[in-house]
Copies of this chain bind each other. A is one copy, B any other.
């Protein structure tokens, strides 16, 4: 039995996973206050033991543990993380002080791609990516039939500039794709436009409007919301076609909260744009655009399978 651990800024999750990716149990606890590296590792060990116990297994039956973190990893160390204080942390070594099993570390987007590839929307593909549209835009790549990490830092697809000289990004550049295609970007846009259009449902929602609200209003027929969803799909497609022209993937799966939106408001228009504009549109192999299937489970399942992926 394998254990997958998903380290998030809000929650820590662990799951017991079979060798072929079946999820047997999930244990969750809040990230809480960070009280040191050693203590953090111990908490993850406890969570892993708990997940094993819930699945009816003893700690001795754990064959390996994979840990997905929101940041860059290298050789069992966390190099740095986004939004949580785990930079320069030798997590594998600390973890193994309390539980002597093989431990693999991975980036969370890479884990999601691995999970979807082995057990979800990417099954059977040689070249595949999961693109997550959330606070930012993240990506995990499966290339030539294996996880591609570029030494641990690849997949920062949100920081591909699509609008040179455009909106400033926290990464230091201007016009990064995630400033236009993240759920945050859609909500920001709705807030701005809502102020100018008191006739729209979006203006009623005021400053707290979310990407999900925009899709709901569009579904209910709100004109402004429909137009914002259309523009958003075009921004999403712009970056996806870029990735496909560079990598000619067989399939791209879209994940993140906004992908729960009705098919005809997001996945379908993105797919249509991709099929109309990607360079390979006249080739024998036209890339597919689908919805990710595993939701939050992808991170746990993918983390558990990290060891098998041959990169730790």
Contacts and interface: CB of A to CB of B under 8 A. Distances in A.
A169 to B, nearest CB: 10
Interface in A114-134: 126-127
Given A172-B277, A250-B151, A162 B162 contact: yes
B277 A153 contact: no
A291 interface: no
Interface of A: 72, 74, 79-80, 126-127, 139, 141, 143-144, 146, 148-157, 159-164, 171-173, 180, 235, 238, 241-243, 245-250, 276-277, 279-280, 282-285
Contact of A156 (B143, B149, B245, B277): B245
Given A79-B283, A171-B279, A248 B144 contact: no
- Secondary structure of the A side of the interface? mixed
A74 B283 CA distance: 10
Number of copies: 2
Given A150-B249, A153-B279, 13 more contacts: A72-B283, A79-B283, A127-B150, A127-B151, A141-B246, A144-B148, A153-B248, A155-B248, A156-B246, A157-B246, A159-B245, A171-B277, A173-B241
Most buried by B among A156, A241, A246: A246
A235 B146 CA distance: 32
22 contacts: A79-B284, A143-B144, A143-B148, A144-B148, A153-B279, A153-B280, A154-B246, A154-B248, A156-B246, A159-B279, A160-B242, A161-B238, A161-B242, A162-B162, A162-B164, A163-B163, A164-B180, A164-B238, A171-B279, A172-B277, A242-B242, A243-B246
Contacts of A150: 127, 143, 247-249
Contacts of A126: 151
